[in-house]
Structure 1
Amino acid sequence: MEEKSLSPQFLVLVTSLTTLALYFVNIWLTTCTHQEEKSHRTYVDDVKTAMMYLGVSFILSPVLVSLTETISTDTIYAMTTIMLLANLLCHDYTAASNRVPGALSLSGAIFASVCLASRLHTTWHAFATVTFSFQLFALWPVLRRRLQRYFSTGGQVAMTTVITAATFSAAASITAVGAVLYSLAFVFITFICPAWLIALYPYKNNIYGPWDEAEIKEEIHNR
């Protein structure tokens, strides 16, 4: 959007339609897996929440555009990098939880999107950036966990492949160096690190023995 190759209105339209479609997929998965929702939310409650979020975000978008005018661009990029790293390190990667990602992880991602939105041109740019980041970092992880529990291992591998290809294509459209670095990091973390761990497993040394258990002695002084 900063290079004006993507319209913010088009991004909001596409992401909104995609979110709506995935919302019905989420309902279908909940019905198929017979999961009980503790909150017992209705469709009306979800629509009210979505409308409230979109309304508040659009109203505050002019503030976001001028929020960091006195801060240098290099500082904004550094803060964005730190917040995205916090999102990666603090994210809940388990597949057993239905909750929205942890507060620190989600806050870091939203703060990073706000920093980037403050460097864009118009209110629509800021609104599109913040909305897309919320959909990506808050809503998508919940649906992804349900998809992981519903599909088999082959389905999970296919989903990971599609996400990786989409991420690589998005990075390559901006910078080829970034796409190559992403590919190298992905291969290292996904394949090399597990293979390294398996190779080191025979050197694991377990020590067994009749250990003396600690005993707590209480001394009672009668006065």
Structure 2
Amino acid sequence: MTTKRKPWRKNLYENSDYEDNYTDPSFLKDLKTNLHVRFFTLGEAIQVLHTLTYAISTDTIFSMTFFVMVLNLVFCDYGLSVAMVSKAISLNAAIFGSICLASRLPTSYHAFVLLVESAITLAFSYCL
């Protein structure tokens, strides 16, 4: 005598006839991935970065940029095997300095060009 199992349903407590790791072919049919994800372009982000530091004085921005660029030079990998070398800290400091400088440019277009050029230059210089 063969017993017919109840059809599988997407409900945790009604599928006791099936193994724990059973996956029905209809399981993923209603799956919706990245339903509310909105993709932003770099141009949209530049408008925020351009006005990011209006409340901070220009002298503070320039001195902060100087210190993070020195930090970039200190942590840069010059081919020496010392404990101070960190490519991540060096790259992040340089990008942060570029963002600080971009916040003082007159238009969003100028900030966009500076950030794209600095990102390309810095990212490719660390890949070599």
TM-score by length of 1: 0.36
> Aligned-pair distance for 1:141?
3.3
Q: Cα deviation per residue 1:116-139 (whole Å; 9 max; x = unaligned)? A: 000001111111111111112111
Q: Which residue of 1 aligns with 2:55?
A: 70
Count the aligned residue pairs.
Answer: 84
What is the alpha-carbon distance in structure 2 between the residues aligned to residue 64 and residue 114 of structure 1?
7
What is the alpha-carbon distance in structure 1 between the residues aligned to residue 99 and residue 74 of structure 2?
19
What is the alpha-carbon distance in structure 2 between the residues aligned to residue 139 and residue 75 of structure 1?
29
Could you tell me which of 11, 31, 42 is aligned with 1:57? 42
| Stretches of structure 1 lacking an aligned partner (at least 5 in a row) | 1-54, 96-100, 144-223
SS, match of residue 79 in structure 2: coil
What is the alpha-carbon distance in structure 2 between the residues aligned to residue 83 and residue 139 of structure 1?
19
What is the alpha-carbon distance in structure 2 between the residues aligned to residue 103 and residue 56 of structure 1?
24
Instruction: Report % sequence identity.
Output: 43
Q: Which residue of 1 aligns with 2:3?
A: none
Q: Which residue of 2 aligns with 1:140?
A: 125
RMSD: 1.7
Q: Compared with structure 1, are the counterparts of its residues 73 and 108 closer, same or farther at alpha carbon in structure 2 (3 Å cutoff)?
A: same
What is the alpha-carbon distance in structure 1 between the residues aligned to residue 75 and residue 56 of structure 2?
27
Q: Cα deviation per residue 1:145-185 (whole Å; 9 max; x = unaligned)? A: xxxxxxxxxxxxxxxxxxxxxxxxxxxxxxxxxxxxxxxxx
Matches within 5 A, 1:86-101: 86-94=71-79
Q: Which residue of 2 aligns with 1:130?
A: 115
> Aligned-pair distance for 1:80?
0.3
What is the alpha-carbon distance in structure 1 between the residues aligned to residue 41 and residue 68 of structure 2?
23
> Aligned-pair distance for 1:57?
2.5
Higher helix share: 1
Larger radius of gyration: 2
Matches within 5 A, 1:1-223: 56-94=41-79, 102-143=87-128
The letter for the 2-side match of 1:72 is: S
SS, match of residue 111 in structure 2: helix
| Stretches of structure 2 lacking an aligned partner (at least 5 in a row) | 1-39, 81-85
The letter for the 2-side match of 1:109 is: A
Q: Cα deviation per residue 1:92-125 (whole Å; 9 max; x = unaligned)? A: 1128xxxxx7111001000000000000011111
SS, match of residue 71 in structure 1: coil
